[in-house]
Structure 1
Amino acid sequence: MTHCLVLAAGKGERVRSSKYPESKQYQEVNDISPLNYLLKSLDKVDDIKTITVVIAKGDASKFKKNSKNIKKLRKSVIGGKTRQESSFKGLKDIYREFGKKKSQKVIIHDAARPFVSNDLIKSCIKSLDKHQAVCPVIKIDDTLKKISKKNELISKDRDKILSIQTPQGFKLKEIISLHEQTKEKFTDDISLAVEKKLKIKLISGSKKNFKITNKDDLQMFGQIILGEKIKLVGIGFDIHEFKKGDQITLGGLKFKSKYGLLANSDGDVLLHAITDSIFGAFNLGDLGLHFPPESKLFKNKSSIYFLKKSLDVIKEKNGSIVNLDLNLICDYPKIKPIRRKILKKISSLMSINIDKVSLKATTTEDQGFINSKNGIAAQAIISIEVSRNEK
């Protein structure tokens, strides 16, 4: 079994500014933080069974916000004053629960490296089958110089220098033992393994797996995220027949009417079509699949309930609505006098700017299969922007 320990207790002072007021792991850029992006990626790696995150004291609420819906999240642990202390605290917490079980592996990863790939993680875990420790490295491309005591530049052979990355892999019992034995200070766990002469397997890292250290790195994170954004499109349709009554519901609003609408719920064709379009955008079936019309649970249910459930999907996927185009097909009621009220209500319910919502109306002029004198129909087309790895 492999556990992932994420170190997220740093303050990231070099990044903080008026533009980036949060610690780097929590700073949202283009609607997502590095920690949130990382946790979502780790959650999808089959070889990882649990995720434990070391956080700073006082960051519990920030962490909670950035770790919603992470299924493999085991818990958060309050870190220490240094990276070494934080790592040891996290390892001890994992060991207390799993230490007595056989073949326990752990990979330790920096929260400031959000773009670690699935392949790199798998390579790290697999290499632990034959080695005591595993560490990804990359070669240095830039020319290296050292400043002498006389303030002179001295060339260094870059072919003999490697850049160390995370995740760093270990057998759980061994790395715990190393931390317990040492009183020296190390900048990462692999340095401790080197000092204690463990057999270390070096594997190829990736330049994409860079560490966010300064403002430029955070901007680069944002640019990569923006490049990963894709747009999903969903189409929804609903229709309800007129019946005897004195009220109809459209767009979450109730209007006096000379008819009612035949429906199991409140018959709000607009909200039904919108909900249908959201489920469609994420390939999650239709409205009836999630809320069966024959079920007594949804008898006379407000359609706002259905809409909110579909909006939860957008939140879970960290998506944002680009625009919503609605079309009502009916002879009655006349939409022009109530269009603005409906637009305001829908935009409010969906927490989006009213300018992102369009509402049109037409009739069938008594032609075709759908006769708009007999009821009301609605079409919805929605565009939702999500990260490519959320699709």
Structure 2
Amino acid sequence: MSFSAIIVAAGTGSRAGEPKQWRRLGGRPVLRWSVEALLSAGASELVVVVAPGAEDLAAEALTGLGRWVAVKGGETRAASVQAGLNAFKARSGARVLIHDAARPLLDPATIRRVLAALEHHEAVVPVLPVADSLRRGSEGVMGESVDREGLWRAQTPQGFRLEAILGAYAAWPDPSPPTDDVEVARRAGRTVAMVAGDARLMKLTYPEDFAMAEALISRQTRVGQGFDAHRWGPGASVWLCGVEIAHDQTLIGHSDADAGLHALTDAILGAMGDGDIGDHFPPTDPQWKGASSDLFLIHAVERLAARGGRLVNVDVTLICERPKVKPHRLAMRERLAGLLSLPLDAVSVKATTTEAMGFTGRGEGLAAQALATIELPL
């Protein structure tokens, strides 16, 4: 079903503390969620209305996406919508969806319901019933109840036949701006049909709304594993899981040779499908000679956060005959918990020997393996 769409993204986000459309949700700018949803649904043309001077922000937020153009908005939402409508190439009879960027969790089913209703109606709004009891009140004191029978929560995208919404805006009689686009259509005498909305299609208005939206994002759980080994050489201490331990040898490597952190870095990168530590920090690069392996681990965690992911738990096993790990295990767990911003009970460090077998058993080197569980947005 061919259609055109407008996304209104020209607001200042005064109640949220900053422009909401540029903030990240699940690793992506809020605006991008709606653009991707409408393009995936088959929008033939998509106009993104932004504040004057915000065109570069839109281009950055929508990098890699096609079939959209940015236009400058006005001082009110209604003025911004009209700027979007005037930018259309669509002709009379076209179906138009008008959507708020502040409602990022737009699902294909809602789009389909609105478009299907536009086959038989000139204006359509997705709605939800009012489930909570309603009360009037002022100055912290509750007043009388309000009958919620017949009350609905209006959402977007709101759908229109192009000529119907253009004519309705041209006929708007009130100097004050309308609350939304279906109100413009209704005041012009158009019948507005209702279809089922989606509870996840919440509007981001206040700072705390972002935490709720993050919780609503569908996520997948992934597990990555890492392994690393270094040989022993002359030295007076060794770094393991971010903790320096006095020892009569040290591990030899291009960086500080912290096998525990190396294995854990690879586990996180592996869970994301993001290569390995050597891809990001080549041992041939002199800038990493003697570098603290904390840098590598933090880099992996930052890349995970940039994709909207989060670390759930980690488990590291050190394989060696010496040094004894148990006396230092709590310090290692605390260090990892701090680096990874995880609670202590989500961080495990264990140690084992190979009963004098193999290179670790002969004291030639130390090995480490790690598992990391992450969540990524779908």
Q: TM-score under structure 1 normalisation?
A: 0.63
Matched, 1:233 2:223: yes
1:33-86 CA distance string (max 9 Å, x none): 7998954632543457675567xxxxx9xxx9xxx9775799999986xxxx23
Residues in 2 aligned to 1:176 and 1:331: alpha-carbon distance in whole angstroms: 78
User: Which residue pairs with 1:192 in the alignment?
Assistant: 184
Query: Which of 341, 349, 352 is equivalent to 2:331?
Result: 341
Residues in 1 aligned to 2:107 and 2:346: alpha-carbon distance in whole angstroms: 35
* Structure 1 residues 364 and 204: CA distance shift in structure 2, 3 A: same
State the 1:232 CA deviation: 2.6
Determine helix, strand or coil for the equivalent of 1:301.
Answer: coil
* Structure 1 residues 75 and 276: CA distance shift in structure 2, 3 A: farther
User: Which residue pairs with 1:5 in the alignment?
Assistant: 8
State the 1:127 CA deviation: 10
1:124-176 CA distance string (max 9 Å, x none): 68999x9997644469799xxxxxxxxxxx9x9x8xx9975411357999978
Residues in 2 aligned to 1:353 and 1:139: alpha-carbon distance in whole angstroms: 38
Matched, 1:248 2:251: no
User: Which residue pairs with 2:197 in the alignment?
Assistant: 206
**Aligned runs of 1:49-68 on 2, under 5 Å?**
none
Residues in 1 aligned to 2:254 and 2:302: alpha-carbon distance in whole angstroms: 23
Matched, 1:88 2:69: no
Matched, 1:325 2:315: yes
Say whether the 8 Å CA contact 1:250–1:268 is kept in structure 2.
yes
State the 1:245 CA deviation: 3.5
Unaligned runs of 5+ in 1: 13-21, 27-31, 55-59, 143-153
Matched, 1:379 2:373: no
**Aligned runs of 1:25-44 on 2, under 5 Å?**
39=31, 41-42=33-34, 44=36
State the 1:109 CA deviation: 2.4
State the 1:361 CA deviation: 0.9
* Structure 1 residues 267 and 44: CA distance shift in structure 2, 3 A: farther
Determine helix, strand or coil for the equivalent of 1:313.
Answer: helix
State the 1:291 CA deviation: 2.9
State the 1:350 CA deviation: 1.5
State the 1:89 CA deviation: 4.1
User: Which residue pairs with 1:308 in the alignment?
Assistant: 298
| Alignment length (residue pairs) | 337
**Aligned runs of 1:38-187 on 2, under 5 Å?**
39=31, 41-42=33-34, 44-45=36-37, 46-47=39-40, 71=63, 85-89=76-80, 92=83, 99=87, 102=89, 107-110=97-100, 113-121=103-111, 135-137=124-126, 165-168=155-158, 182-184=172-174, 185-187=177-179
State the 1:229 CA deviation: 5.0
**Structure 1 residues 172-181 or 162-171, which shifts more?**
172-181
Say whether the 8 Å CA contact 1:165–1:205 is kept in structure 2.
no
Residues in 2 aligned to 1:348 and 1:3: alpha-carbon distance in whole angstroms: 44
Say whether the 8 Å CA contact 1:250–1:269 is kept in structure 2.
yes
Residues in 2 aligned to 1:132 and 1:374: alpha-carbon distance in whole angstroms: 78
